[in-house]
Amino acid sequence: MRSARDIDSYIANYPEKTQVLLRKIRATIRKAAPYASEAISYGIPTYKLNGNLVHFGAFKTHIGFFPGGRARKLFPELSRYEGGKGTVRFPLEKPLPLGLITRVVKFRVKENTKDDA
């Protein structure tokens, strides 16, 4: 896999079926965090707003979503998905939980901007 210079080129590296999922998660994050900037960090799409907000990436059997450990603790719905302390794995063969992703991203926005008020 070639390293990507931006999120569009990152998505273009994957099969069409995976690209559709990546575009959906990207659009969901952008809508939930319209002031966040996009970048490639750690080789995957990253959203930044007063620091890292969330990351996501494609893998062989899943889409990885990286909201951080606190989000994983505060959203019990995430426990139905495999993952580690601050990661979630959404299986490629199942629909993405876009509503849940929206709620998590909005939480992360509040977390990263709480001192800005």
Task: Record the tokens describing residue 69, joined without a space.
Answer: 């450990």
Q: What was the pLDDT predicted at 91?
A: 97
Q: Is residue 27 a contact partner of residue 62, using CB atoms and an 8 Å limit?
A: no
- Secondary structure of the chain as H, E, C letters: CCCCCCHHHHHHCCCHHHHHHHHHHHHHHHHHCCCCEEEEECCEEEEECCCEEEEEEECCCEEEEECCHHHHHHCHHHHHCCCCCCCEEEECCCCCCHHHHHHHHHHHHHHHHHHHC
What angle do the packed helices 16-32 and 98-113 form, to 10 degrees? 40
What is the residue-averaged pLDDT of the chain? 93
Q: Taking 60 as the threshold, does the pLDDT of residue 55 lie above it? A: yes
Model pLDDT for residues 64-83, shown as the tens digit of each residue:
999 988 888 899 999 899 98
Domains in the chain: boundaries: 7-107
Q: What was the pLDDT predicted at 68?
A: 87
CATH classification code of 7-107: 3.90.1150.200
Q: What is the pTM of this model?
A: 0.92
Q: How far apart (Å, rounded) are the C-alpha atoms in residues 35 and 80?
A: 30
φ/ψ region of 6 (left if φ > 0, alpha if ψ in -120 to 50, else beta) reads beta
